[in-house]
């Protein structure tokens, strides 16, 4: 029997490689799009539409938790002045991966993973550390991957173009947007 995997998806372009690869590896893979860290809401909607296009292409299902920015802001706002890659990013990774791991545990998934590590702008070691700790807390397996290896990021850019997916130029965080940060 295939392992049930909940794949945390930060955005459609970053999922273009991991999602079909997990399916090809035999995982029963469902996407999980957190999204409450994405601002403004119009940006969230653009990313959601891109995800729906990818979902149709991959032929898999996706979980769309409620878009609830206040919960994200309550965790991140005290780190608004942090530089990109600093404590605010760590808090954001925690919020996203904890939501995914909690959902996985409550809904019968065996494992959880993320697409976050495809970006060359993000700290893959930190993401995998947070993912492993969070998965353990909720009693599910963490599947560690660094998707940017083997030209993963370039392949995701190419696949996004092929599929006509919207590609953002910032991570989604309003503080990153206001500070001119590029962390997608």
> pLDDT per residue over 38-81, tens digit each?
999 999 999 999 999 999 999 999 999 999 999 999 999 999 98
> Taking 60 as the threshold, does the pLDDT of residue 107 lie above it?
yes
Q: How confident is the model at residue 170 (pLDDT cuts 50, 70, 90)?
A: confident
Residues 86-98: what's their mean pLDDT? 95
- The pLDDT score that the predictor gives to residue 183 is 45
Q: Say which residues have a Cβ less than 8 Å from residue 109's Cβ, sequence separation at least 6.
A: 4, 5, 6, 30, 103, 140
> Taking 70 as the threshold, does the pLDDT of residue 182 lie above it?
no
- The pLDDT score that the predictor gives to residue 180 is 58
Taking a C-beta distance cutoff of 8 angstroms, is the pair 143, 113 a contact? Answer: yes
Reduced to 3 states, what is the DSSP secondary structure of residue 59? Answer: coil
Residue 148: cis peptide before it, omega within 30 degrees of 0? no
Residues 125-144: what's their mean pLDDT? 98
What is the C-alpha to C-alpha distance for residues 108 and 4, in angstroms, rounded to an integer? 8
Distance set, CA 25 to CA 4, 126, 138, 141, 143 (Å) = 12, 25, 24, 16, 13
> Taking 50 as the threshold, does the pLDDT of residue 123 lie above it?
yes
């Amino acid at each position: 029997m295939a392992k049930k995997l909940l794949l945390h998806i930060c955005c459609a372009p970053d999922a273009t490689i991991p999602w079909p690869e997990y399916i090809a590896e035999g995982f029963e893979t469902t996407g999980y799009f957190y999204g409450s860290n994405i601002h403004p809401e119009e940006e969230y909607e653009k990313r959601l539409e891109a995800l729906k296009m990818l979902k149709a292409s991959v032929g898999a299902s996706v979980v769309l938790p409620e878009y609830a920015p206040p919960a994200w802001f309550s965790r991140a706002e005290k780190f608004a002045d942090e530089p990109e890659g600093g404590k605010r990013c760590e808090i954001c990774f925690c919020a996203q991966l904890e939501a995914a791991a909690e959902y996985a545990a409550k809904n019968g998934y065996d494992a959880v993973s993320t697409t976050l590590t495809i970006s060359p702008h993000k700290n893959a070691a930190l993401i995998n550390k947070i993912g492993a700790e969070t998965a353990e807390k909720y009693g599910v397996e963490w599947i560690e991957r660094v998707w940017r290896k083997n030209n993963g990021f370039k392949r995701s850019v190419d696949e996004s173009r092929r599929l006509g997916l919207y590609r953002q130029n910032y991570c989604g965080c309003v503080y990153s947007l206001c500070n001119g940060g590029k962390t997608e």
